[in-house]
Amino acid sequence: MVLHETNSPFRQDQAELLNKLLPTLTDGQRIWLSGYLAATVGAAVAAVPAAAAPQAAPAALQAAPAAPAAPALPKEATVLYGSQTGNSKKLANRLGDRLKGAGYEVTVSAMNDFKPNTLKKVARLFIVVSTHGEGDPPDNALGFYEFLHSKRAPQLDGMPFAVLALGDTSYEKFCQTGKDFDKRLEELGGKRIAPRVDCDVDFEDAASGWIDSVLAALASEEAAAASAPAAAAAAAVAAVAAEAPAQPAYSRTHPFRAAVLENLNLNGRGSERETRHLELSLEGSGLTYEPGDALGIYPENRPELVEELIEAAGWKADELVPAGKDGDLPLAEALSRHYEITLLTRPLLQQAAELTGSAKLKELTAPGHEQELKDYIAGRDLVDLIRGFDLKGVPAKTFVPLLRKLPPRLYSIASSLKAHPDEVHLTIRKVVYEAHGRTRYGVCSTYVAERAEPGSELPVFVQHNENFRLPADPDTPIIMIGPGTGVAPFRAFLEEREETGAGGKSWLFYGDQHFLTDFLYQIEWQRWLKDGVLTRMDVAFSRDQEHKIYVQHRMLEKAKELYAWLEEGAVVYVCGDKSRMAHDVHAALETILRQEGGLSEEAAAEYLKRMQQERRYQRDVY
């Protein structure tokens, strides 16, 4: 609109100036200007006596001098998360709540629910994202990640942003996705208002620190944009915002002690596997879950390994050591349930080199020895480190606090709450392998297999997963691909569909080593096939014949029918091994689309990408 004296409150000379300036402004500049003007008006309005103000100010603000904070930008913030197992989502929501508490209008959204072409309209952008695979974005971040790194990404013209990265220092590409977003937003002209924080598996404190730093940066942004009295009000806003939001009764940070009701080995005699069917009571916890969610368990280290470590280091089991929020604990207890002792990470080795002054360890962790360090870390634990670098005698009090906190493990929930009120069932395969001349035991799976007797208790929490959900329409066909323990959530899916009387067709692809000993939940699938809850089932037992047969081979054998189901709108679910199975199943789906649908390689890849975006191809792989 062209401004002139009759359609605006401006004089002719003012209107001419504005008509010259306004068309040259970018979206970011317009947003900034509107915030700036709002700030000026805000200060003027604040000068009106309190009785004339339409709404009472919050208590903390009333204590401050008369003028409220006035931001330069509209008080809006967008929080986008990319999350596979729910941690980033939870933190994004926590930031959202804090921003709302500070008076911001907030949008919190999964990256795949956000329209990238609206990015230019965003006032402030906060990203909370984890890294998965081998340094890859989580599935629900893929589209936005690609968009932002493409030529279509807009210039951000000083848009304020900050990134929280979640990851695990035991992975080579630690927090890679968060690092990529942070770098790219700056390249596009965004203005970083708080430094990126890279969180390890014990992310709570670091994430809270980042949220505080974002709120503080916004408060000073407001203070800078406002008059002096408003700066005091801004500080008051930050104080209000710093109040911790109410926590649900039981959570990752406050796990529920669930009683073990049942713990059975699902494998037959002679199997190479040991897979536990675990039933836990949630009675009195108030915890609920949906099929597709996971349960987190806080494990304890194997007593034999704790003893071996204390012996190797020359420590005393009852000496007191710091154990974070638990205060000082006897060493044996701290090593059992507080610290990680089965895994070595680069930061740990670097700190150990500093602490002990070991020349050998310093050399291994020095720049230029990255590959050597990676090779050393693989398959080794703390006992190897102590023995291999002659660290016996290092004081427990200074060495033990260098260790990471023992992280919880996640397990796909294998039951429906409707079928088993107040219970949760899991399918856990014991991890045991040989490495560097010693038998190694997976911490949590061994804890469950060897020590979770019925009647004992496990500290647990529910990890919701919106990215692995039955279709809302009960008549939608579903294809479930879950070899090994990957079948766990599909037991939950079918229990749920049986309870709700869902009419949609269902097809399960299952596989393991041997039909006779490794057919997990065989009787249940057969009953569901008979009752029509499960429409089809194809199994692949890899070692029952000379050549290996896996689920992807069964899928290719049934290519025609599978393609017909896809065209009917079936939702495909893949759960289980990420390193090979998920990749091979993806390749099989591409082959089926090319072979049966006549699609080119690119078109098949595009078809699957679209399915992913439409949530018709969901994966929960680990």
Ligand X SMILES: Cc1cc2nc3c(=O)[nH]c(=O)nc-3n(C[C@H](O)[C@H](O)[C@H](O)COP(=O)(O)O)c2cc1C
Ligand Y SMILES: Cc1cc2nc3c(=O)[nH]c(=O)nc-3n(C[C@H](O)[C@H](O)[C@H](O)COP(=O)(O)OP(=O)(O)OC[C@H]3O[C@@H](n4cnc5c(N)ncnc54)[C@H](O)[C@@H]3O)c2cc1C
Q: How far apart are CA 261 and CA 458, in angstroms?
A: 11
Cβ 564 to ligand X, closest distance in Å?
Answer: 32
- Which CB atom, from 86 or from 489, has the smaller least distance to ligand X? 86
Can you tell me which of 75, 94, 132, 430 binds ligand X, judged by CB under 6 A?
Answer: 132
Nearer to ligand X, 199 or 225 (CB): 199
β-strand partners of 160: 191
Of residues 208, 202, 88, the one with CA closest to residue 138 = 88
Partner whose binding site includes residue 468, from ligand X, ligand Y, none (CB under 5 to 8 Å by kind): none
Residues of span 250-309 touching ligand X by CB under 6 A: none
Q: In angstroms, what is the minimal distance from the CB of 294 to ligand Y?
A: 5
Provide the strand spans (E) within 147-302. Answer: 160-166, 191-192, 197-199, 256-265, 275-281, 294-297
DSSP string, 222-236: HHHHS-HHHHHHHHH
Distances (CA, A) of 568 to 143, 494, 504, 574: 25, 20, 11, 18
- Record the tokens describing residue 379, joined without a space: 């398959």
In the complex, which residue's CB is closest to ligand X? 167
Within residues 185-204, the interface with ligand X by CB under 6 A covers 201, 203
Choose between 84 and 416: whose C-beta lies nearer to ligand X.
Answer: 84
Binding mask 134-153 for ligand X (x = CB under 6 A): xx--x---------------
Which letter does DSSP use for residue 402 in this model? G
Chain position whose Cβ is nearest to ligand Y: 442
The residue (of 397 and 464) whose beta carbon lies closer to ligand Y is 464
Q: Contact between 205 and ligand X (CB under 6 A)?
A: no
Partner whose binding site includes residue 168, from ligand Y, ligand X, none (CB under 5 to 8 Å by kind): ligand X
| Cβ at position 369, least distance to ligand X in Å | 21
Q: Which of ligand Y, ligand X, none does residue 88 bind (CB under 5 to 8 Å by kind)?
A: ligand X
β partners of residue 22: none
Q: How far is the CB of 201 from ligand X (least distance, A)?
A: 6
CA-nearest of 113, 129, 78 to 99 is 78
Residues numbered 566 to 585 that lie near ligand X (CB under 6 A) are 578
86 binds, among ligand X, ligand Y, none (CB under 5 to 8 A by kind): ligand X
List, in sequence order, every beta strand (DSSP E) within 506-616.
506-512, 536-541, 571-576
Number of residues that bind ligand X (CB under 6 A): 25
Interface with ligand Y (CB under 6 A): 85, 294, 299, 342, 379, 409-412, 427-429, 431, 433, 435, 442-446, 485, 488, 620, 622
Question: Is residue 517 helix, strand or coil?
Answer: helix
Kindly state whether residue 483 participates in binding ligand X, applying the rule CB under 6 A.
Answer: no
Reference 538, options 551, 519, 548; nearest CA is 551
**Phi, psi angles (nearest 5°) of residue 553:** -70, -40
Rank residues 277 and 497 by Cβ distance to ligand Y and give the closer one.
Answer: 277
Q: Which is nearer to ligand Y, 120 or 469 (CB)?
A: 469
The binder of ligand X chosen from 78, 85, 112, 485 (CB under 6 A): 85
Look up residue 209 and give its two tokens.
Answer: 């620190």
- Minimum separation from the CB atom of position 57 to ligand Y (A): 45
- Using CB under 6 A as the binding rule, whether residue 166 contacts ligand X is answered as yes
> Of 86, 143, 486, 489, which one interacts with ligand X (CB under 6 A)?
86
Stretch that binds ligand X, among 167-175, 236-244, 504-512, 521-529 (CB under 6 A): 167-175
Least distance between ligand X and beta carbon 373 (Å): 16
* 337 touches ligand X by CB under 6 A: no
The answer to whether the beta carbons of residues 181 and 214 sit under 8 Å apart is no
Q: Is 173 in the site for ligand X (CB under 6 A)?
A: yes
Check residue 168 for interaction with ligand X (CB under 6 A): yes
Task: Encode burial over 9-32: b for 16+ CB neighbours within 10 A, e otherwise.
Answer: eeeeeebeeeeeeeeeeebbeebb
C-alpha distance across the termini of the chain, in Å: 55
- 250-269 burial, b at 16+ Cβ within 10 Å, e below that, comes to bebeebbebebbebeebbee
Question: Considering beta carbons, is residue 83 or 427 the nearer one to ligand Y?
Answer: 427
Q: Are strands 571-576 and 478-481 parallel, antiparallel or unpaired?
A: parallel
292: partner contacted, choices ligand X, ligand Y, none (Cβ within 5-8 A by kind):
none
Residue 583 CA to residue 619 CA, distance in Å, equals 11
Q: Which is nearer to ligand X, 87 or 281 (CB)?
A: 87
- Interaction partner, residue 173 (ligand Y, ligand X, none; CB < 5-8 Å by kind): ligand X
> Among residues 369 and 464, whose Cβ is nearest to ligand Y?
464
- The contacts of residue 32 (CB under 8 Å, 6+ apart) are 72, 73, 158
H/E stretch holding 154: none
Say how many CA atoms lie within 13 Å of 88 toward its Cβ.
35
- In the list ligand Y, ligand X, none, the entry touching 429 (Cβ below 5 to 8 angstroms by class) is ligand Y
Within 417-503, residue ranges assigned H as helices are 443-451, 488-500
C-beta neighbour count of 350 within 10 angstroms? 17
Shortest CB 540 distance to ligand X, Å: 23
Residues 6+ apart with CB under 8 A from 99: 77, 79, 106, 215, 218, 241
CB of 565 to ligand X, least distance (A): 28
Q: Residue count of the chain, please give it.
A: 622
CB of 93 to ligand X, least distance (A): 12
Tokens 């090779």 belong to 375
Residue 485 binding result from ligand X, ligand Y, none, given CB thresholds of 5 to 8 Å by partner type = ligand Y
- Select the binding partner of residue 297 from ligand X, ligand Y, none (C-beta < 5 to 8 A, by kind): none
* Residues that bind ligand X in the complex, under the rule CB under 6 A: 83-88, 130-135, 138, 166-168, 171, 173-176, 201, 203, 578, 622
